[in-house]
Amino acid sequence: MTLSSVHIIGVGGYLPERIMTNADLEALVDTTDEWIAERTGIRQRHIIAEDQMTSDLAVEAAKMALLDAGITIDDIDALVVATTTPDMIFPSTATVVQSKLGGKEFPAWDVQAVCSGFVYGLAHLEGMMRAGMYKRVLMIGAESMSRIVDWTDRGTCILFGDGAGAVVLEAGGPDAENGMVGSILHADGSYRELLKAHHTHPKLSPEMHHQKIDFRIDSAGTAAVEMKGNEVFRIAVTKLGSVVKEILAKHELTDSDIDWLVPHQANIRIIQATAKKLKMDMDRVALTVATHGNTSSASVPLALNDLYRSGKLEKGQLILLEAFAGGFAWGANLLRWSK
């Protein structure tokens, strides 16, 4: 069997209108713009509107990616949403997105690997599409993390933001030189207590969510991200450093072969540590953490969208995507840009 090449043929992103700055957070918790910017690199984040759901963010990003690919939803034969903040426990957010986009009967499912969801989804789709299972797939990362953040916990609420990023993947075509090179995924559930959220958040209505932000209602007892920040930080730096080396070695490539690093945007210091490990200048790293914060599974496709829209990407360039997440689950994808 000849394996197909797999290409990104469309990219899109969407951020909700409302911006919450670090100064806004100073009014909510005992923190300062200076502390947040210095420890995380974050200056602001976007917050989902009361009448929006994760699927709505996903739909907007998907529409942009379809437009960019020059195709419509009728050309798609599978749809995957990576999300930690699904509209409901079930059905999957992917089926909601399919319906909102007017898609018909193709398979649609969610991937849950928290902040690594997009990297996980891309890895699985790469394998499926190489084997001929699907021709064109919408892969979306979409999150409303602000709905599961404890807005009284200064150690976590400063970190997260909402948004969605999407790509259209296509198998085959004449450009066999470019496209996905490969992926590596890892998980170690023995670390699960260090970063988690219990699963009561669907009980929170969007109205309650906004009351929590605006009136500081204590969200104890409802779903909230819990994190041992400095331990997560330390392990993230180590695991990301090793997975980027592992994927390069697997494909007989070296640091200097990489043109762009598109990292998960959790903390500028984690990103700098990975770039240093790869001996990469920061001007070859896609950075959105300052303006988006950590948008979990949306962060990698949003950063890719940002880099793509900047006009800096050139056909044939080697791009390394990486992410680290609760679980812990982490991984990396390598691809040669095809557009």
Residues that bind ligand COA (CB under 6 A): 31, 35-36, 39-40, 115, 154-155, 158, 227, 229-230, 232-233, 236, 266-267, 270, 294, 324-325
Q: 7, 22, 115, 178: which is the annotated catalytic residue? A: 115
Measured from the CB atom, the residue of 34 and 207 that comes closer to ligand COA is 34
Task: Identify the H or E element spanning 272.
Answer: helix 268-277
Measured from the CB atom, the residue of 9 and 115 that comes closer to ligand COA is 115
Measured from the CB atom, the residue of 52 and 84 that comes closer to ligand COA is 84
Measured from the CB atom, the residue of 191 and 337 that comes closer to ligand COA is 191
Nearest-CA neighbor of 163 among 332, 334, 15, 317?
A: 15
Strands (E), the chain: 6-14, 18-21, 44-47, 78-82, 108-111, 136-144, 162-171, 179-187, 195-197, 225-227, 260-263, 318-325, 329-336
What minimum distance in Å lies between the beta carbon of 270 and ligand COA?
Answer: 6
What minimum distance in Å lies between the beta carbon of 230 and ligand COA?
Answer: 4
Instruction: Tell me the pairing of strands 195-197 and 18-21.
Output: unpaired
- Please tell me whether residue 291 adopts helix, strand or coil conformation: helix
Distance in angstroms (rounded) separating the CA atoms of residues 114 and 125: 17
- Taking each continuous run of H as one helix and of E as one strand, the counts in the chain are 10, 13
What minimum distance in Å lies between the beta carbon of 176 and ligand COA?
Answer: 34
Measured from the CB atom, the residue of 63 and 269 that comes closer to ligand COA is 269
CB distance 84 to 296 below 8 Å: yes
Q: 22, 178, 294, 305: which is the annotated catalytic residue? A: 294
Distance in angstroms (rounded) separating the CA atoms of residues 236 and 301: 19
Measured from the CB atom, the residue of 25 and 62 that comes closer to ligand COA is 25
Q: Check if 199 is active-site.
A: no
Distance in angstroms (rounded) separating the CA atoms of residues 66 and 166: 9
Instruction: Tell me the pairing of strands 329-336 and 318-325.
Output: antiparallel
Encoded tokens for 151 = 């807005």
What minimum distance in Å lies between the beta carbon of 295 and ligand COA?
Answer: 11
Q: 264, 267, 292, 333: which is the annotated catalytic residue? A: 264
Q: Check if 267 is active-site.
A: no
Distance in angstroms (rounded) separating the CA atoms of residues 263 and 241: 12
- For ligand COA, the nearest residue by Cβ is 229
What minimum distance in Å lies between the beta carbon of 158 and ligand COA?
Answer: 5
What minimum distance in Å lies between the beta carbon of 290 and ligand COA?
Answer: 14
Q: What angle do CA 319, 336, 265 make, to 5 degrees?
A: 25
Name the residues annotated as catalytic: 115, 264, 294
